[in-house]
Structure 1
Amino acid sequence: MSPDPAPLSGRQPKAVRSALAVLEEVVAAGPGVTAKEISGALKLPPATTYRLLNLLVAEGYLVRLPDLRGFALGRRAARLSVPVTTRPPAAARAIVGHLRQQVRWGVHLASFRTGRIVLLDGDPDHPPHDEALLARYPHASALGKLLLADQADWRAAVRGLRQLTAHTVIDADRLDAELARCREDRLARQCGELHADRGCLAVPIHDVTDGTLVAGLALSGPPDRVAEPNTELLDRLREHAAQLAPLLA
Protein backbone atom coordinates (compact mmCIF):
# COMPACT_ATOMS: atom_id res chain seq x y z
CA MET A 1 0.00 0.00 0.00
CA SER A 2 1.26 3.46 -0.89
CA PRO A 3 1.91 5.78 2.01
CA ASP A 4 -0.53 8.61 2.54
CA PRO A 5 0.62 11.83 0.89
CA ALA A 6 1.97 14.49 3.19
CA PRO A 7 -0.66 17.10 4.05
CA LEU A 8 -0.40 20.47 2.35
CA SER A 9 1.02 23.27 4.41
CA GLY A 10 -0.86 26.54 4.76
CA ARG A 11 1.28 28.29 2.13
CA GLN A 12 1.26 25.57 -0.54
CA PRO A 13 -2.26 26.09 -1.95
CA LYS A 14 -1.50 29.79 -2.48
CA ALA A 15 1.73 28.91 -4.27
CA VAL A 16 -0.11 26.47 -6.53
CA ARG A 17 -2.74 29.10 -7.37
CA SER A 18 -0.01 31.62 -8.15
CA ALA A 19 1.79 29.17 -10.45
CA LEU A 20 -1.44 28.45 -12.31
CA ALA A 21 -2.10 32.18 -12.60
CA VAL A 22 1.33 32.64 -14.16
CA LEU A 23 0.54 29.92 -16.73
CA GLU A 24 -2.80 31.58 -17.51
CA GLU A 25 -1.09 34.94 -17.99
CA VAL A 26 1.42 33.48 -20.46
CA VAL A 27 -1.47 31.95 -22.41
CA ALA A 28 -3.41 35.22 -22.40
CA ALA A 29 -0.47 37.49 -23.23
CA GLY A 30 1.13 35.21 -25.79
CA PRO A 31 4.75 34.23 -26.47
CA GLY A 32 7.31 36.83 -25.47
CA VAL A 33 5.59 38.07 -22.32
CA THR A 34 8.21 39.19 -19.82
CA ALA A 35 8.57 38.54 -16.12
CA LYS A 36 7.95 42.24 -15.46
CA GLU A 37 4.70 42.17 -17.45
CA ILE A 38 3.53 39.03 -15.64
CA SER A 39 4.41 40.52 -12.26
CA GLY A 40 2.49 43.71 -13.07
CA ALA A 41 -0.57 41.95 -14.46
CA LEU A 42 -0.88 39.55 -11.50
CA LYS A 43 0.31 42.05 -8.88
CA LEU A 44 2.89 39.54 -7.64
CA PRO A 45 6.22 40.60 -6.10
CA PRO A 46 9.00 40.38 -8.71
CA ALA A 47 10.94 37.88 -6.58
CA THR A 48 7.90 35.58 -6.35
CA THR A 49 7.27 35.89 -10.08
CA TYR A 50 10.85 34.97 -10.97
CA ARG A 51 10.78 32.02 -8.57
CA LEU A 52 7.57 30.67 -10.11
CA LEU A 53 8.83 31.23 -13.66
CA ASN A 54 12.06 29.38 -12.91
CA LEU A 55 10.10 26.47 -11.45
CA LEU A 56 7.73 26.28 -14.42
CA VAL A 57 10.67 26.40 -16.84
CA ALA A 58 12.48 23.65 -14.94
CA GLU A 59 9.37 21.46 -15.08
CA GLY A 60 8.87 22.05 -18.82
CA TYR A 61 5.61 24.00 -18.60
CA LEU A 62 7.31 27.18 -19.83
CA VAL A 63 10.36 27.91 -21.95
CA ARG A 64 12.57 30.95 -22.19
CA LEU A 65 12.67 32.41 -25.66
CA PRO A 66 16.07 32.39 -27.39
CA ASP A 67 16.67 36.09 -26.77
CA LEU A 68 16.02 35.51 -23.03
CA ARG A 69 13.62 38.46 -22.98
CA GLY A 70 10.37 36.57 -22.55
CA PHE A 71 8.57 33.30 -21.97
CA ALA A 72 6.30 30.95 -23.91
CA LEU A 73 4.43 27.74 -23.19
CA GLY A 74 6.57 24.62 -23.01
CA ARG A 75 6.02 21.04 -24.14
CA ARG A 76 4.28 19.86 -20.97
CA ALA A 77 1.75 22.69 -21.06
CA ALA A 78 0.14 21.09 -24.12
CA ARG A 79 -0.91 18.16 -21.94
CA LEU A 80 -3.14 20.44 -19.84
CA SER A 81 -5.74 20.98 -22.58
CA VAL A 82 -7.82 18.91 -24.95
CA PRO A 83 -6.49 19.21 -28.52
CA VAL A 84 -8.63 21.55 -30.64
CA THR A 85 -9.10 21.01 -34.36
CA THR A 86 -8.52 24.32 -36.12
CA ARG A 87 -9.01 23.13 -39.69
CA PRO A 88 -12.31 24.43 -41.07
CA PRO A 89 -14.64 22.11 -43.02
CA ALA A 90 -13.95 21.58 -46.71
CA ALA A 91 -17.01 23.62 -47.73
CA ALA A 92 -15.73 26.60 -45.73
CA ARG A 93 -12.28 26.32 -47.27
CA ALA A 94 -13.89 26.28 -50.71
CA ILE A 95 -15.71 29.56 -49.99
CA VAL A 96 -12.50 31.19 -48.78
CA GLY A 97 -10.71 29.88 -51.87
CA HIS A 98 -13.43 31.32 -54.11
CA LEU A 99 -12.96 34.78 -52.61
CA ARG A 100 -9.20 34.52 -53.15
CA GLN A 101 -9.83 33.91 -56.83
CA GLN A 102 -11.93 37.07 -57.08
CA VAL A 103 -9.61 39.56 -55.36
CA ARG A 104 -5.94 40.43 -55.41
CA TRP A 105 -5.85 40.82 -51.67
CA GLY A 106 -4.80 38.30 -49.06
CA VAL A 107 -7.81 36.47 -47.61
CA HIS A 108 -7.70 35.08 -44.07
CA LEU A 109 -10.28 33.24 -41.96
CA ALA A 110 -9.94 33.30 -38.17
CA SER A 111 -11.90 31.76 -35.31
CA PHE A 112 -12.88 33.58 -32.11
CA ARG A 113 -14.31 30.51 -30.34
CA THR A 114 -11.58 30.49 -27.69
CA GLY A 115 -11.90 34.20 -26.96
CA ARG A 116 -8.75 34.98 -28.91
CA ILE A 117 -7.69 34.99 -32.56
CA VAL A 118 -6.98 31.54 -33.99
CA LEU A 119 -6.18 31.46 -37.70
CA LEU A 120 -8.19 28.76 -39.45
CA ASP A 121 -7.16 29.45 -43.04
CA GLY A 122 -4.37 31.94 -43.72
CA ASP A 123 -3.70 32.89 -47.32
CA PRO A 124 -0.56 31.01 -48.44
CA ASP A 125 0.15 33.55 -51.18
CA HIS A 126 -0.15 36.48 -48.78
CA PRO A 127 1.07 35.09 -45.42
CA PRO A 128 -0.85 36.61 -42.50
CA HIS A 129 0.74 38.26 -39.49
CA ASP A 130 2.14 35.96 -36.83
CA GLU A 131 -0.77 34.49 -34.86
CA ALA A 132 0.88 35.17 -31.50
CA LEU A 133 1.30 38.83 -32.47
CA LEU A 134 -2.36 39.09 -33.46
CA ALA A 135 -3.48 37.50 -30.21
CA ARG A 136 -1.26 39.65 -28.02
CA TYR A 137 -2.05 43.02 -29.62
CA PRO A 138 -5.69 42.85 -30.76
CA HIS A 139 -5.97 46.65 -30.76
CA ALA A 140 -3.59 46.81 -33.76
CA SER A 141 -5.35 44.40 -36.15
CA ALA A 142 -8.70 44.39 -37.91
CA LEU A 143 -9.52 40.89 -36.68
CA GLY A 144 -8.55 41.92 -33.17
CA LYS A 145 -10.80 44.97 -33.32
CA LEU A 146 -13.73 42.75 -34.29
CA LEU A 147 -13.07 40.70 -31.18
CA LEU A 148 -12.66 43.74 -28.93
CA ALA A 149 -15.81 45.40 -30.32
CA ASP A 150 -17.78 42.35 -29.19
CA GLN A 151 -16.58 42.59 -25.58
CA ALA A 152 -18.65 44.15 -22.82
CA ASP A 153 -15.44 45.81 -21.59
CA TRP A 154 -12.68 45.74 -24.19
CA ARG A 155 -10.18 47.27 -21.76
CA ALA A 156 -10.24 44.09 -19.68
CA ALA A 157 -9.09 42.11 -22.73
CA VAL A 158 -6.13 44.37 -23.61
CA ARG A 159 -2.83 44.37 -21.78
CA GLY A 160 -1.68 47.84 -22.68
CA LEU A 161 -2.09 49.75 -25.94
CA ARG A 162 1.41 49.22 -27.25
CA GLN A 163 2.47 51.34 -30.23
CA LEU A 164 3.80 48.99 -32.91
CA THR A 165 4.00 51.56 -35.73
CA ALA A 166 3.44 55.30 -36.08
CA HIS A 167 -0.18 54.52 -37.05
CA THR A 168 -1.13 52.29 -34.12
CA VAL A 169 -4.08 53.66 -32.16
CA ILE A 170 -2.93 53.88 -28.53
CA ASP A 171 -5.39 56.49 -27.23
CA ALA A 172 -8.13 54.64 -25.33
CA ASP A 173 -10.88 57.16 -26.16
CA ARG A 174 -10.01 57.09 -29.85
CA LEU A 175 -9.98 53.29 -29.88
CA ASP A 176 -13.30 53.26 -28.01
CA ALA A 177 -14.85 55.41 -30.75
CA GLU A 178 -13.35 53.22 -33.45
CA LEU A 179 -14.77 50.07 -31.86
CA ALA A 180 -18.19 51.73 -31.67
CA ARG A 181 -18.02 52.37 -35.44
CA CYS A 182 -16.94 48.78 -35.92
CA ARG A 183 -20.06 47.53 -34.14
CA GLU A 184 -22.28 49.90 -36.11
CA ASP A 185 -20.75 49.22 -39.54
CA ARG A 186 -19.95 45.54 -38.91
CA LEU A 187 -16.55 46.31 -40.38
CA ALA A 188 -13.10 46.70 -38.82
CA ARG A 189 -9.97 48.09 -40.40
CA GLN A 190 -6.37 48.87 -39.63
CA CYS A 191 -4.15 50.95 -41.88
CA GLY A 192 -0.52 50.12 -41.17
CA GLU A 193 -1.05 49.71 -37.42
CA LEU A 194 0.56 46.28 -37.02
CA HIS A 195 3.10 46.63 -39.84
CA ALA A 196 3.44 49.95 -41.62
CA ASP A 197 3.29 48.47 -45.13
CA ARG A 198 0.09 46.46 -44.72
CA GLY A 199 -3.52 47.14 -43.84
CA CYS A 200 -6.54 44.94 -43.28
CA LEU A 201 -10.34 44.90 -43.51
CA ALA A 202 -12.39 42.38 -41.54
CA VAL A 203 -16.06 41.52 -41.15
CA PRO A 204 -17.63 39.43 -38.37
CA ILE A 205 -19.18 36.00 -38.76
CA HIS A 206 -21.92 35.22 -36.24
CA ASP A 207 -23.45 31.92 -35.19
CA VAL A 208 -26.70 31.56 -37.14
CA THR A 209 -28.49 30.04 -34.12
CA ASP A 210 -27.63 32.38 -31.25
CA GLY A 211 -25.88 35.33 -32.91
CA THR A 212 -22.61 35.00 -31.01
CA LEU A 213 -19.41 36.09 -32.71
CA VAL A 214 -17.57 32.96 -33.87
CA ALA A 215 -15.14 34.07 -36.58
CA GLY A 216 -13.87 36.85 -38.80
CA LEU A 217 -13.08 37.06 -42.51
CA ALA A 218 -10.31 39.48 -43.43
CA LEU A 219 -8.69 41.01 -46.49
CA SER A 220 -5.12 42.29 -46.27
CA GLY A 221 -3.55 44.72 -48.70
CA PRO A 222 -1.94 48.14 -49.10
CA PRO A 223 -2.88 50.57 -46.28
CA ASP A 224 -4.05 53.27 -48.70
CA ARG A 225 -6.55 50.91 -50.31
CA VAL A 226 -7.77 49.75 -46.90
CA ALA A 227 -8.46 53.37 -45.96
CA GLU A 228 -10.76 53.82 -48.97
CA PRO A 229 -12.11 50.39 -49.99
CA ASN A 230 -14.52 50.25 -52.91
CA THR A 231 -18.11 49.14 -52.40
CA GLU A 232 -17.82 46.10 -54.65
CA LEU A 233 -14.92 44.74 -52.60
CA LEU A 234 -16.83 45.13 -49.33
CA ASP A 235 -19.92 43.51 -50.83
CA ARG A 236 -17.89 40.47 -51.87
CA LEU A 237 -16.30 40.23 -48.44
CA ARG A 238 -19.66 40.37 -46.66
CA GLU A 239 -21.27 37.97 -49.14
CA HIS A 240 -18.64 35.31 -48.51
CA ALA A 241 -18.80 35.87 -44.74
CA ALA A 242 -22.55 35.23 -44.88
CA GLN A 243 -21.95 31.99 -46.75
CA LEU A 244 -19.45 30.89 -44.10
CA ALA A 245 -21.75 31.54 -41.13
CA PRO A 246 -23.82 28.29 -41.24
CA LEU A 247 -20.65 26.24 -41.81
CA LEU A 248 -18.87 27.61 -38.73
CA ALA A 249 -21.79 27.45 -36.30
Structure 2
Amino acid sequence: MSPVVDPAPLSGRQPKAVRNALAVLEEVAAAGPGVTAKEISAALRMPPATTYRMLNLLVGEEYLVRLPDLRGFALGRRAKRLSVAAPPRPCAAARAVVEHVRQQLRWGVHLASYSDGRLVLIDTDPDHPPSDEALLARFPHATALGKILLADQPDWRALVRDMRSFTERTITEPTRLDVELKEVARTGIAWQLGELRSDRGCLAVSVRDEAGTLVAGLTVSGPANGIAERRGALVTMLEQHAQQLRPLLA
Protein backbone atom coordinates (compact mmCIF):
# COMPACT_ATOMS: atom_id res chain seq x y z
CA MET A 1 0.00 0.00 0.00
CA SER A 2 1.32 3.43 -0.91
CA PRO A 3 2.12 5.70 2.00
CA VAL A 4 -0.30 8.52 2.74
CA VAL A 5 1.22 11.81 1.79
CA ASP A 6 0.27 14.83 3.88
CA PRO A 7 -1.21 17.63 1.81
CA ALA A 8 0.48 20.98 1.67
CA PRO A 9 -0.04 22.85 4.93
CA LEU A 10 -2.92 25.32 5.04
CA SER A 11 -2.04 28.96 4.92
CA GLY A 12 -3.16 31.27 7.71
CA ARG A 13 -6.13 32.50 5.65
CA GLN A 14 -7.45 29.18 4.36
CA PRO A 15 -9.14 27.89 7.57
CA LYS A 16 -11.10 31.13 7.85
CA ALA A 17 -12.17 30.86 4.22
CA VAL A 18 -13.38 27.32 4.81
CA ARG A 19 -15.35 28.42 7.88
CA ASN A 20 -16.90 31.29 5.92
CA ALA A 21 -17.95 28.99 3.09
CA LEU A 22 -19.52 26.52 5.52
CA ALA A 23 -21.31 29.33 7.34
CA VAL A 24 -22.81 30.59 4.07
CA LEU A 25 -23.88 27.07 3.11
CA GLU A 26 -25.50 26.54 6.50
CA GLU A 27 -27.32 29.88 6.32
CA VAL A 28 -28.81 29.06 2.89
CA ALA A 29 -29.94 25.67 4.22
CA ALA A 30 -31.55 27.27 7.28
CA ALA A 31 -33.11 30.24 5.49
CA GLY A 32 -34.52 28.25 2.58
CA PRO A 33 -34.74 28.85 -1.18
CA GLY A 34 -34.69 32.48 -2.26
CA VAL A 35 -32.44 33.89 0.45
CA THR A 36 -30.43 36.77 -0.99
CA ALA A 37 -26.77 37.67 -0.68
CA LYS A 38 -27.74 40.75 1.31
CA GLU A 39 -29.76 38.67 3.80
CA ILE A 40 -26.92 36.16 4.17
CA SER A 41 -24.40 38.94 4.74
CA ALA A 42 -26.59 40.55 7.39
CA ALA A 43 -27.39 37.28 9.18
CA LEU A 44 -23.74 36.23 9.36
CA ARG A 45 -22.37 39.75 9.91
CA MET A 46 -20.04 39.00 7.01
CA PRO A 47 -18.68 41.72 4.69
CA PRO A 48 -20.64 41.81 1.42
CA ALA A 49 -17.50 41.25 -0.65
CA THR A 50 -16.67 38.11 1.33
CA THR A 51 -20.26 36.89 1.08
CA TYR A 52 -20.33 37.27 -2.70
CA ARG A 53 -16.97 35.53 -3.01
CA MET A 54 -18.18 32.57 -0.96
CA LEU A 55 -21.47 32.41 -2.89
CA ASN A 56 -19.66 32.38 -6.24
CA LEU A 57 -17.36 29.62 -5.00
CA LEU A 58 -20.25 27.47 -3.73
CA VAL A 59 -22.24 28.00 -6.93
CA GLY A 60 -19.21 27.04 -9.01
CA GLU A 61 -18.82 23.82 -7.00
CA GLU A 62 -22.59 23.07 -7.30
CA TYR A 63 -23.25 23.29 -3.56
CA LEU A 64 -25.55 26.23 -4.29
CA VAL A 65 -27.57 27.35 -7.31
CA ARG A 66 -28.81 30.75 -8.35
CA LEU A 67 -32.57 30.87 -8.74
CA PRO A 68 -33.88 31.63 -12.24
CA ASP A 69 -34.75 35.24 -11.34
CA LEU A 70 -31.14 35.73 -10.12
CA ARG A 71 -32.42 37.30 -6.90
CA GLY A 72 -31.62 34.50 -4.49
CA PHE A 73 -29.92 31.19 -3.83
CA ALA A 74 -30.89 27.63 -2.98
CA LEU A 75 -29.09 24.39 -2.16
CA GLY A 76 -27.48 22.72 -5.15
CA ARG A 77 -27.03 19.13 -6.22
CA ARG A 78 -24.00 18.40 -4.08
CA ALA A 79 -25.40 20.02 -0.93
CA LYS A 80 -28.60 17.99 -1.15
CA ARG A 81 -26.52 14.83 -0.81
CA LEU A 82 -25.57 16.04 2.67
CA SER A 83 -29.07 16.92 3.82
CA VAL A 84 -31.15 14.92 6.27
CA ALA A 85 -33.94 12.90 4.71
CA ALA A 86 -37.39 14.45 4.86
CA PRO A 87 -39.70 13.08 7.57
CA PRO A 88 -41.90 10.26 6.28
CA ARG A 89 -45.50 10.95 5.38
CA PRO A 90 -47.80 10.24 8.34
CA CYS A 91 -49.64 6.94 8.37
CA ALA A 92 -53.19 6.62 7.06
CA ALA A 93 -54.65 6.64 10.58
CA ALA A 94 -52.90 9.92 11.41
CA ARG A 95 -54.02 11.51 8.15
CA ALA A 96 -57.58 10.45 8.95
CA VAL A 97 -57.42 12.27 12.28
CA VAL A 98 -56.23 15.46 10.58
CA GLU A 99 -58.90 15.10 7.89
CA HIS A 100 -61.56 14.84 10.59
CA VAL A 101 -60.53 18.27 11.88
CA ARG A 102 -60.74 19.67 8.35
CA GLN A 103 -64.27 18.41 7.96
CA GLN A 104 -65.35 20.42 11.00
CA LEU A 105 -63.69 23.70 9.99
CA ARG A 106 -63.80 25.95 6.96
CA TRP A 107 -60.16 27.00 7.38
CA GLY A 108 -56.82 25.38 6.64
CA VAL A 109 -55.63 22.55 8.89
CA HIS A 110 -52.02 21.33 8.66
CA LEU A 111 -49.73 18.86 10.41
CA ALA A 112 -46.03 19.60 10.92
CA SER A 113 -43.15 17.39 12.00
CA TYR A 114 -40.42 18.50 14.42
CA SER A 115 -37.99 15.64 13.83
CA ASP A 116 -34.32 16.58 14.31
CA GLY A 117 -35.37 20.02 15.55
CA ARG A 118 -36.66 21.01 12.11
CA LEU A 119 -40.12 22.29 11.25
CA VAL A 120 -41.46 20.53 8.17
CA LEU A 121 -45.07 20.39 6.99
CA ILE A 122 -45.96 16.74 6.38
CA ASP A 123 -49.71 16.97 5.75
CA THR A 124 -51.03 20.22 4.25
CA ASP A 125 -54.66 21.02 3.62
CA PRO A 126 -55.28 20.51 -0.12
CA ASP A 127 -58.23 22.90 -0.09
CA HIS A 128 -56.39 25.62 1.83
CA PRO A 129 -52.68 25.29 0.98
CA PRO A 130 -50.40 27.39 3.19
CA SER A 131 -49.34 30.56 1.42
CA ASP A 132 -46.42 31.22 3.78
CA GLU A 133 -44.85 27.75 3.96
CA ALA A 134 -41.42 29.02 2.91
CA LEU A 135 -41.37 31.42 5.86
CA LEU A 136 -42.11 28.88 8.59
CA ALA A 137 -38.56 27.67 9.08
CA ARG A 138 -36.95 31.04 8.36
CA PHE A 139 -39.02 33.11 10.78
CA PRO A 140 -40.41 30.82 13.51
CA HIS A 141 -40.92 33.76 15.88
CA ALA A 142 -43.84 34.96 13.71
CA THR A 143 -45.76 31.67 13.37
CA ALA A 144 -47.70 29.47 15.76
CA LEU A 145 -45.98 26.28 14.62
CA GLY A 146 -42.63 28.03 14.92
CA LYS A 147 -43.36 29.12 18.48
CA ILE A 148 -44.15 25.51 19.43
CA LEU A 149 -40.68 24.54 18.21
CA LEU A 150 -38.91 27.49 19.83
CA ALA A 151 -40.59 26.89 23.20
CA ASP A 152 -39.12 23.37 23.24
CA GLN A 153 -35.51 24.53 22.79
CA PRO A 154 -32.97 25.04 25.58
CA ASP A 155 -32.10 28.33 23.85
CA TRP A 156 -34.57 29.46 21.20
CA ARG A 157 -32.16 32.15 19.99
CA ALA A 158 -30.08 29.48 18.28
CA LEU A 159 -32.92 28.93 15.79
CA VAL A 160 -33.87 32.58 15.22
CA ARG A 161 -31.44 34.34 12.92
CA ASP A 162 -33.64 37.28 12.06
CA MET A 163 -36.48 38.60 14.23
CA ARG A 164 -37.94 40.37 11.24
CA SER A 165 -41.06 42.50 11.58
CA PHE A 166 -43.80 41.62 9.10
CA THR A 167 -46.64 43.64 10.65
CA GLU A 168 -47.08 45.96 13.60
CA ARG A 169 -48.06 42.90 15.66
CA THR A 170 -44.90 40.89 14.98
CA ILE A 171 -42.94 40.26 18.18
CA THR A 172 -39.40 41.53 17.64
CA GLU A 173 -38.31 42.05 21.23
CA PRO A 174 -36.44 39.03 22.68
CA THR A 175 -37.66 39.64 26.23
CA ARG A 176 -41.28 39.77 25.09
CA LEU A 177 -40.87 36.60 23.04
CA ASP A 178 -39.25 34.94 26.05
CA VAL A 179 -42.39 35.54 28.09
CA GLU A 180 -44.67 34.19 25.38
CA LEU A 181 -42.57 31.09 24.78
CA LYS A 182 -42.60 30.21 28.48
CA GLU A 183 -46.39 30.21 28.32
CA VAL A 184 -46.31 28.09 25.15
CA ALA A 185 -44.01 25.61 26.90
CA ARG A 186 -46.41 25.44 29.85
CA THR A 187 -49.63 24.98 27.85
CA GLY A 188 -48.50 23.40 24.58
CA ILE A 189 -50.58 26.02 22.74
CA ALA A 190 -49.28 28.80 20.48
CA TRP A 191 -51.01 31.71 18.75
CA GLN A 192 -50.23 34.04 15.92
CA LEU A 193 -52.82 36.72 15.21
CA GLY A 194 -51.76 39.10 12.46
CA GLU A 195 -48.02 38.68 13.11
CA LEU A 196 -47.06 37.28 9.71
CA ARG A 197 -49.90 38.80 7.69
CA SER A 198 -52.14 41.42 9.22
CA ASP A 199 -55.34 39.67 8.12
CA ARG A 200 -54.37 36.07 8.95
CA GLY A 201 -53.87 34.10 12.14
CA CYS A 202 -53.22 30.56 13.30
CA LEU A 203 -53.41 28.38 16.38
CA ALA A 204 -51.14 25.39 16.96
CA VAL A 205 -51.01 22.69 19.60
CA SER A 206 -48.10 20.38 20.31
CA VAL A 207 -48.13 16.62 19.85
CA ARG A 208 -45.76 14.68 22.11
CA ASP A 209 -44.91 11.01 22.24
CA GLU A 210 -45.22 8.83 25.35
CA ALA A 211 -41.79 9.97 26.54
CA GLY A 212 -42.82 13.61 26.31
CA THR A 213 -40.70 14.39 23.25
CA LEU A 214 -42.14 16.97 20.85
CA VAL A 215 -42.82 15.20 17.55
CA ALA A 216 -45.45 17.26 15.74
CA GLY A 217 -47.73 20.27 15.72
CA LEU A 218 -51.36 20.47 14.62
CA THR A 219 -52.46 23.88 13.40
CA VAL A 220 -55.47 25.71 12.01
CA SER A 221 -55.04 28.92 10.01
CA GLY A 222 -57.66 31.43 8.95
CA PRO A 223 -58.81 35.03 9.37
CA ALA A 224 -57.15 36.59 12.42
CA ASN A 225 -60.45 37.85 13.82
CA GLY A 226 -62.16 34.51 13.29
CA ILE A 227 -59.36 32.59 15.02
CA ALA A 228 -59.50 34.98 18.00
CA GLU A 229 -63.28 34.80 18.31
CA ARG A 230 -63.32 30.98 18.34
CA ARG A 231 -60.24 30.58 20.49
CA GLY A 232 -61.74 28.36 23.20
CA ALA A 233 -63.55 25.99 20.83
CA LEU A 234 -60.52 25.69 18.55
CA VAL A 235 -58.18 24.86 21.43
CA THR A 236 -60.53 22.13 22.66
CA MET A 237 -60.90 20.63 19.18
CA LEU A 238 -57.19 20.62 18.36
CA GLU A 239 -56.15 19.26 21.75
CA GLN A 240 -58.62 16.37 21.44
CA HIS A 241 -57.25 15.44 18.03
CA ALA A 242 -53.65 15.93 19.17
CA GLN A 243 -54.29 13.28 21.81
CA GLN A 244 -55.47 10.91 19.06
CA LEU A 245 -52.36 11.65 17.02
CA ARG A 246 -50.00 11.00 19.92
CA PRO A 247 -49.72 7.19 19.56
CA LEU A 248 -49.83 7.41 15.75
CA LEU A 249 -46.80 9.70 15.36
CA ALA A 250 -44.50 8.19 18.00
Q: TM-score, normalised by structure 2?
A: 0.89
Opposite residue 61 of structure 1, the aligned amino acid is Y
| Aligned partners of 1:166 and 1:193 also within 8 Å | yes
**2:38 is equivalent to residue 36 of structure 1:** yes
1:230, CA displacement in angstroms? 4.4
Residue of structure 2 equivalent to 1:245 = 246
Residue of structure 2 equivalent to 1:177 = 179
Q: In structure 1, how many angstroms separate the alpha carbons of the residues matched to 2:27 and 2:155?
A: 18
> For the structure 1 residues 94 and 235, does the alpha-carbon distance in structure 2 shift closer, same or farther, using more than 3 Å as the test?
same
Residue of structure 1 equivalent to 2:21 = 19
Within 5 Å, which residues of 2 pair with 1:1-249? 6-10=7-11, 11-209=13-211, 211-249=212-250
Can you give the 5+ residue segments of structure 1 that lack an aligned partner in the other structure?
none
Q: In structure 1, how many angstroms separate the alpha carbons of the residues matched to 2:219 and 2:24?
A: 32
> For the structure 1 residues 6 and 185, does the alpha-carbon distance in structure 2 shift closer, same or farther, using more than 3 Å as the test?
closer
Q: In structure 2, how many angstroms separate the alpha carbons of the residues matched to 1:107 and 1:83?
A: 24
- For each residue in 1:123-147, what CA deviation from the matched residue of structure 2 results, as whole angstroms up to 9, or x when unmatched? 0111113332111011111101111
> For the structure 1 residues 15 and 146, does the alpha-carbon distance in structure 2 shift closer, same or farther, using more than 3 Å as the test?
same
Q: In structure 2, how many angstroms separate the alpha carbons of the residues matched to 1:85 and 1:103?
A: 26
Opposite residue 217 of structure 2, the aligned amino acid is G
Q: Secondary structure at the match of 2:161?
A: coil
Opposite residue 111 of structure 2, the aligned amino acid is L
Opposite residue 172 of structure 1, the aligned amino acid is P
| Aligned partners of 1:60 and 1:74 also within 8 Å | yes
> For the structure 1 residues 178 and 228, does the alpha-carbon distance in structure 2 shift closer, same or farther, using more than 3 Å as the test?
farther
Opposite residue 214 of structure 2, the aligned amino acid is L
Can you give the 5+ residue segments of structure 2 that lack an aligned partner in the other structure?
none
1:18, CA displacement in angstroms? 2.7
Is 174-183 or 3-12 further displaced after alignment? 3-12
1:79, CA displacement in angstroms? 1.5
Q: In structure 1, how many angstroms separate the alpha carbons of the residues matched to 2:32 and 2:175?
A: 25
- For each residue in 1:214-241, what CA deviation from the matched residue of structure 2 results, as whole angstroms up to 9, or x when unmatched? 1100011110122232433321110111
Identity %: 66
Q: TM-score, normalised by structure 1?
A: 0.89
Is 5-14 or 41-50 further displaced after alignment? 5-14
Is 185-194 or 119-128 further displaced after alignment? 185-194
Q: Secondary structure at the match of 1:239?
A: helix
| Aligned partners of 2:110 and 2:124 also within 8 Å | yes
Opposite residue 28 of structure 1, the aligned amino acid is A
| Aligned partners of 2:87 and 2:113 also within 8 Å | no
| Aligned partners of 1:110 and 1:118 also within 8 Å | yes
Opposite residue 112 of structure 1, the aligned amino acid is Y
Cα RMSD between the aligned structures? 2.3
Q: Secondary structure at the match of 2:74?
A: strand
| Aligned partners of 1:96 and 1:240 also within 8 Å | yes
Q: In structure 2, how many angstroms separate the alpha carbons of the residues matched to 1:173 and 1:85?
A: 33
1:187, CA displacement in angstroms? 0.9
Q: In structure 2, how many angstroms separate the alpha carbons of the residues matched to 1:17 and 1:105?
A: 45
Q: Secondary structure at the match of 1:109?
A: strand
Q: Secondary structure at the match of 2:10?
A: coil
Q: In structure 2, how many angstroms separate the alpha carbons of the residues matched to 1:168 and 1:63?
A: 31
1:245, CA displacement in angstroms? 1.3
- For each residue in 1:15-52, what CA deviation from the matched residue of structure 2 results, as whole angstroms up to 9, or x when unmatched? 33332222111111222323233334434443222111
Q: Secondary structure at the match of 2:194?
A: strand
Opposite residue 246 of structure 2, the aligned amino acid is A
